[in-house]
Amino acid sequence: MGTVIDLLIEHDNPDPILAEVINRLKIYERRFSANNPDSELMAINQQAGIGSVVVHPDLYDLIKIGKHHSCALDSNLNIAIGPLVQSWRIGFNDAKVPSAEEIEKLLQLTNPQNIILNDEEQSVFLTEKNMLIDLGSLAKGYIADLIIAYLKTVGVTSALINLGGNIVGLGPVRHGEKKQWKIGIQNPILARNQYITTLAIFNQSVVTSGVYERSLEVAGQTYHHILNPKTGYPTDTDVASLTIRTDRSVDGEIWTTRLYGKSSQDILNALNQLENIEGIIITQKGEILFSNGINQK
């Protein structure tokens, strides 16, 4: 999945359960990856402008969720952004800065309304040739939720899943007074493993988006990997990182992506109006802003 994964469970017989989790992670990678040409998602992209593709229910469900939030008013989430992501390739060895003409051309292929879903057939059709769905902003959260659901079915009551910074804590920690998982929040201005604060979770998820994760430097200018789906260029914001705590991990993915790119104050205002969505904003100047839900706790 292109990241380091940590799996921690408490169970009398953990080895076969962990083996099955790893097996499922490999299946999910082949299902949701936009970078593996043989993935189930890429079968849809390869038929763009040609025909619809019947897909696995999990893949259909995530695309449907992604389209809904991509079409929402003033959303910075767009699962049809694939052509731009593949052009910039930030985080890969062949990353480059596309020309303004190329970006303008690719923007024409990123309308999420051109993702046609058929609930009865569970099929997906991209109406324009060269369209590309990219679920990178959602897949880890969705996968984390699937893994937690599996762990519950086999009697695991305490677990910590870390899919490269997308974290879910199941049940109580078996040590400490409060029995909550304490998650370190990276200081986006400093080197890795330098934490600026911690966030406690219990049957909850923590998801962080930040411009510090991946970048490209060309001619003295740094380009980060979070693209503005409206301009095609890296998003311009005073926010260095946005961390969201939710009950479902996919919801954390949705809202970090929908909100990232807005000003810190606009994000804070939005978080304070969302139910069961709480967040921590760290600005480029190092200020820390907490939503009301976290302040109250």
In this prediction, residue 3 carries a pLDDT of 84
- 8 A C-beta contact, residue 84 and residue 109: no
What is the per-residue pLDDT across 199-255, written as a single tens digit (0 to 9) for each? 999 999 999 988 766 666 776 677 667 888 999 888 888 999 999 999 999 999 999
In this prediction, residue 89 carries a pLDDT of 80
Q: Is 76 helix (H, G, I), strand (E, B) or coil?
A: coil
Residue 28 to residues 17, 36, 42, 143, 234, Cα–Cα distance (Å): 16, 12, 13, 7, 28
Q: Which residues contact 88 (CB under 8 A, 6 or more apart)?
A: 95, 96, 97, 98, 216, 223, 225, 227
Q: Which domains does the chain have, with CATH numbers?
A: 165-296 (3.10.520.10)
CA nearest neighbour of 253 among 85, 84, 71, 66 = 66
Radius of gyration for the alpha carbons in the chain, expressed in angstroms and rounded: 19
CA nearest neighbour of 167 among 58, 244, 277 = 244
Gap between the Cα atoms of 49 and 225, Å rounded: 28
In this prediction, residue 210 carries a pLDDT of 82
| Token duo for residue 267 | 């994000």
- 8 A C-beta contact, residue 114 and residue 166: no
- 8 A C-beta contact, residue 43 and residue 50: no
Specify the pTM: 0.92
In this prediction, residue 69 carries a pLDDT of 97
Q: Is 141 helix (H, G, I), strand (E, B) or coil?
A: helix
Q: Is 109 helix (H, G, I), strand (E, B) or coil?
A: coil
Kindly report the backbone phi and psi dihedral angles of residue 295, in degrees, each rounded to the nearest multiple of 5, phi listed first.
-60, -40
In this prediction, residue 251 carries a pLDDT of 97
Q: Is 106 helix (H, G, I), strand (E, B) or coil?
A: helix
Q: pLDDT per position in the chain (297 positions), as tens?
A: 778 999 999 999 999 999 999 999 999 999 999 889 999 999 999 999 999 999 999 999 999 999 999 999 999 999 999 999 888 787 777 778 888 999 999 999 999 999 999 999 999 999 999 999 999 899 999 999 999 999 999 999 999 999 988 999 999 987 766 689 999 998 888 777 888 999 999 999 999 988 766 666 776 677 667 888 999 888 888 999 999 999 999 999 999 999 999 999 999 999 999 999 999 999 989 899 999 988 666
Q: Which residues contact 59 (CB under 8 A, 6 or more apart)?
A: 31, 32, 40, 41
CA nearest neighbour of 34 among 146, 166, 139 = 139
